[in-house]
Amino acid sequence: MDQGLVKGAALLGASNQSNWGQAFQEGLNASTSAAAISIAKQKAEKQRINTKVGGYIDNLNSEVDLTKLTAEQTKAVTNFLVENKNEYARAASEIARIDDPTDPRYMELRNTMNGVQTSFSNLANQINAFKEDKISYLKDFDDRRISDGNNIQSLSEAAGVFTDEASFGIGKGGNLNFWNEGKGEYENYTNIKKPFLKDFKAANNILSLNEKVYSAGSSLSGARQNMIRNKLKNMISSGGRDTLLSLASDDFLIEGGLNLQDPSLFDPANQDLLQDAVLNSYMDALIDTAAQGARDKKPARGRGSGGFSGALQDEINLSGPVVEEAMKFANLGGLADEGDKATAIARYINSTNLSSKSMPYISRAEFFEDYMDVMDFDDDEVAEAEKEFAKEYGNSQIFKYNGQNPGQSRGINVNINDPQSLYKFYLQNSNLGSKATNYHLGNWDRYSGSTDKKQETKKEESSTGNFG
């Protein structure tokens, strides 16, 4: 067992005492969500596949040599060898009667004999690869190393091939083929994508980073948080899509993985969206771990701290610049023209670290303009286009824009006419911890002066009543 992984998981367990694990689990509403139903069906299918493979392993005699082919497979190989040996023999018999090596027939027969030899060599190599892959697959399955990030098709094909369920055949050139039920045809073994494994290396790196931020004994904010975020992003992206899917789906840190409920995130066209979701999830964990480490190393203060831990009080005290930016952002809600307002808000967000370069924010007007061009609406069809746009994308005024696949862009739930909603949106997407964020959200009235305005209004009403 990897001791580093165990140690990291234990540390993360400590951090979960705050709110990370709860935050992931509270998002589940599988009983009513169509996405959750889809995911449940996929899990059921994966379970069916896993049960089949597990049963195959259970029925194996421990003394059985897995490198041996089944009787059916042996028969297919034997028939191919016999047929091609006969062809070789016929060619050899004929070529022996031709004295002139420049004779076209001689060359034709020589090519036939070389082709048979090549096919035998190719078949031998592919069968050896298949045997080795079969042993590895069954062992990886039994050791629970196969990633849950694999799609159903890949898992089903592998289960069929390596449990001897899929029909076995030998194609032209000695190519090893297996029947693909989904495609309805035989497929070359070399073209069959094998299920990828859980990326324990990437998980260990993240757990090691988790341990370091905990041991530092200080909360994550400002430049330090940006540095950690960039380091984490490099860890996630360096392994490619398989690493991303593994980190998103496998239960390295939380049972069941990150519980990402939107199936569209796993569409290859939405790789950037998935990476952002995974990055944000692990960053939330690291932020909470850092806060936990700070609390564990720094005792709560006495009077004047409002009951906050020393670490939380420090984060609140040092978050003035973030709150100041949030208030500036909130003031954008006071702009008169709604179209200009949405554009100004989107551009402001894009100028901060709240936005991803791969998935920038865009106003409804800008998105609709692109929609008109792509859908080829005429200028006299604006009303119809607006209806279709609203039907497909809702009524959001701000969108996360997927440049690679605009159809996968998604609206942001924020009221651009409400300064408090803009303030909340900014804080909840900043680098502040959840408790510091909630503290500043609760002080909106004081920061905005709305409390004073309410009191002044009451005084005016009272004064008016006296004159009456």
Please say if the pLDDT value at position 338 is more than 80.
no
Please say if the pLDDT value at position 453 is more than 70.
no
If one compares 48 and 76, the residue with the highest pLDDT of the two is 76
Which residue type occupies 107?
A: M
At 293, which helix (H) or strand (E)? helix 271-297
pLDDT at site 255: 63
Q: How far apart are CA 211 and CA 461, in angstroms?
A: 58
Q: How far apart are CA 387 and CA 394, in angstroms?
A: 10
pLDDT at site 39: 76
Please say if the pLDDT value at position 344 is more than 70.
yes
- pLDDT tens, 297-328? 765 554 444 555 566 676 777 777 888 888 88
pLDDT at site 61: 46
**Burial state string for 99-119 with b = 16 or more CB within 10 A and e = fewer than 16:** eeeeeeebeebeebbebbeeb
Output the average pLDDT for the chain: 78
If one compares 318 and 215, the residue with the highest pLDDT of the two is 215
Pure H helices in 170-309:
200-216, 222-238, 240-249, 271-297
- pLDDT tens, 228-245? 889 999 988 888 999 999
Q: Of the given ranges (82-86, 98-102, 178-182, 452-456), which has the lowest mean pLDDT?
A: 452-456
pLDDT band at 9 (very low <50, low <70, confident <90, very high): very low
Mean pLDDT of the region 390-399: 88
Please say if the pLDDT value at position 463 is more than 90.
no
pLDDT at site 244: 93
Mean pLDDT of the region 79-97: 86
Instruction: Work out the percent of the chain whose per-residue pLDDT is above 90.
Output: 10
DSSP 407-452: GG-EE----TT-HHHHHHHHHHTSS--HHHHHHHHHTHHHHHTHHH
Mean pLDDT of the region 132-158: 90
Q: Of the given ranges (117-126, 415-424, 452-461), which has the lowest mean pLDDT?
A: 452-461
Q: How far apart are CA 415 and CA 330, in angstroms?
A: 10
Mean pLDDT of the region 277-295: 86
Which residue type occupies 376?
A: D
Mean pLDDT of the region 81-90: 87
Cβ atoms of 384 and 377 within 8 Å: the answer is yes
Q: Would you list the domain boundaries of the chain?
A: 3-30+198-318, 64-191, 321-455
pLDDT band at 254 (very low <50, low <70, confident <90, very high): low
pLDDT at site 56: 58
- pLDDT tens, 18-50? 443 343 344 434 434 566 677 778 888 888 777
Q: How far apart are CA 156 and CA 49, in angstroms?
A: 6
If one compares 189 and 22, the residue with the highest pLDDT of the two is 189
Residue 464 three-state SS: helix
